Amino acid sequence: MIKKRKLRKKGYIILVCLAMLGSGLIPQRGIAGEEVAEKGRIIKIENPGFEIDEDGDNLPDGWFMAGAGVGIDRATFHSGKQSVKILVPSDAPYGDLRYRNIPVKPYTFYTLTVWHKTLERWRGGGTVFFIEYDEKGKPLPNPYFDVPVSSEWSKSSWTWTTMAATVKAEIILRNFPGQAASWWDDVSLVEGDSIGDLMDKARKEVKEIEKTNPGNEKIQAKCKEVYGNIEQIEQLLKAQSTMRIEELKESQKTLDDLLKQHKELKNELESLLILE
């Protein structure tokens, strides 16, 4: 069934930029993204708390169901007066609640947050998918996140970067047959900086650190390492714009490694600055 949509010191700023680049690009490598959520742009999602059901079909307006076992629950909720419960029957492949056609930007950090709870602690807590699409509507390699099991309402947030060809996205809240009932509420999506913007900021901050520490050979050498890492990331981003899907999957691993290296360099530079 598919429901139709109705509706500190100078130079320390770089440490924040570099820290944000520690999030991963490979599925299940999302991390909590409170900095992005506090500073980013909130993406409008219709009926994010599932409070509106004007047509009375037991599904939140603006959202779609695929599979089976999805419906509004007015007895259990995080906020407001209702949530969505997913309990998939054994003869169905899955139960999805979906939100489609979200306009997003390529190479940009996004933070997805959802509140959730489960009936039992040992049968899984559900999975969240963020499906990215190119301009032709073709799905791209997508991040997905397994929700921690919790018998109480819990908040989970994940931060990742979109791919080179991404123009639209879809949020999917999913349970599988055999899993305990799960409840979902209060979904939010926040757009942060692009990788390119963060690289520009990082380059400016490294330049300032170099300028304010001219006699420290270790700091100067570490700054050069950061410069080299930034150049590698930018070159790979440029190359990805012309890659096929198969090539993108492998290059995402390389980019993930470079971002991890970026975080390691941040930690090393931070240690040197503290010593100063």
Q: What is the pLDDT of residues 86-96, one digit of tens each?
A: 999 999 999 99
Assess whether pLDDT exceeds 70 at residue 260. Answer: yes
Is the model more confident about 266 or about 209? 209
Q: What is the predicted pLDDT for the residue at 190?
A: 95
Of 49, 77, 76, whose CA–CA distance to 63 is shortest? 49
pLDDT tens-digit map of 1-37: 444 344 333 333 333 333 333 333 333 333 333 344 4
Residue 234 has pLDDT above 70, yes or no: yes
11 alpha-carbon distance from chain centroid: 28
Query: What CATH code is assigned to 23-192?
Result: 2.60.120.260
Q: What is the pTM of this model?
A: 0.76
pLDDT band of residue 121 (cuts 50, 70, 90) is low
Quote the pLDDT of residue 2. 42
DSSP β-bridge partners for residue 71: 85
Mean pLDDT of 100-128: 87
Helical (H) or strand (E) element with 224: helix 217-240
Cα 228 versus chain centre, distance: 27
pLDDT in the model for residue 122? 57
Residue 41 has pLDDT above 70, yes or no: yes
- pLDDT tens across 240-257, in order? 877 776 777 778 788 888
Q: What integer pLDDT is reported at residue 4 of this predicted model?
A: 38
Strands 95-103 and 144-146, by their bridges, are unpaired
DSSP for 96-158 reads: EEEEEEEE--TTEEEEEEEEEEES-SSS---EEEEEEE-TTS-B----EEEPPP-SS-EEEEE
List CB contacts of 118: < 8 A, sequence separation 6 or more: 124, 125, 126, 149, 150, 151, 180, 181, 182, 183
Query: Which amino acid type is present at position 240?
Result: Q
Mention every residue, 6+ apart, whose C-beta is less than 8 A from residue 253: 26
